[in-house]
Amino acid sequence: MTPHCPFCDIVAGRLAASVVAETERVLAFLDLRQAVPGHVLVIPKAHVEDIHAITPALAGEVMQLGVRVAHALREALHPPGINLWQSNGAAAGQEVPHFHLHVQPRRVADGLMRVYPHGVPVPSSRDALDELAARIRPCLSPDDGVPTPRSSP
């Protein structure tokens, strides 16, 4: 628990939330700010700031419940599409520093974000992709650990 974390307050029952699903370590509830009806947040019950602090196993549990919530939203609200998205750091748009997965029913022209709002990027060269992949591979964290920071971003 971290002071002033609204999601920890929800987990502890100090702040109201409309819960849609729960497991031993994960909670899913309606986002107070319904960008679209049925906008759900799925969080670990433990305070974990972002993707760099969560274990792959716990992130997997968050995703598992997110998948179940997506199925429930399809049955309950019949949206023609659903987005799952997750942000880390202010530059990525993370507003609450407690890991959360958004599950959002989507409709055509609903005014929410578009993937590639400026158009689909042109394909990169294979050489450029291979070089980038070779740079990323040695930095992978252990199967179920969190990374040890190597250097500043």
Name the residues that contact Zn ion, by CB under 5 A: 5, 7-8, 47, 98
Pick the closer one to Zn ion by CB: 5 or 51: 5
Strand order in the sheet with 40-44: 19-22, 26-30, 40-44, 101-106, 81-85
CB of 17 to Zn ion, least distance (A): 13
CB of 63 to Zn ion, least distance (A): 19
CB of 51 to Zn ion, least distance (A): 14
CB of 101 to Zn ion, least distance (A): 14
Closest CA to 84 of 111, 58, 65: 65
CB of 153 to Zn ion, least distance (A): 23
Pick the closer one to Zn ion by CB: 14 or 71: 14
* Residue carrying structure tokens 């679209």: 36
Residue sitting closest to Zn ion (CB)? 5
Pick the closer one to Zn ion by CB: 36 or 96: 96
Pick the closer one to Zn ion by CB: 41 or 69: 41
Distance CA 37, CA 113 (A): 15
Pick the closer one to Zn ion by CB: 8 or 28: 8
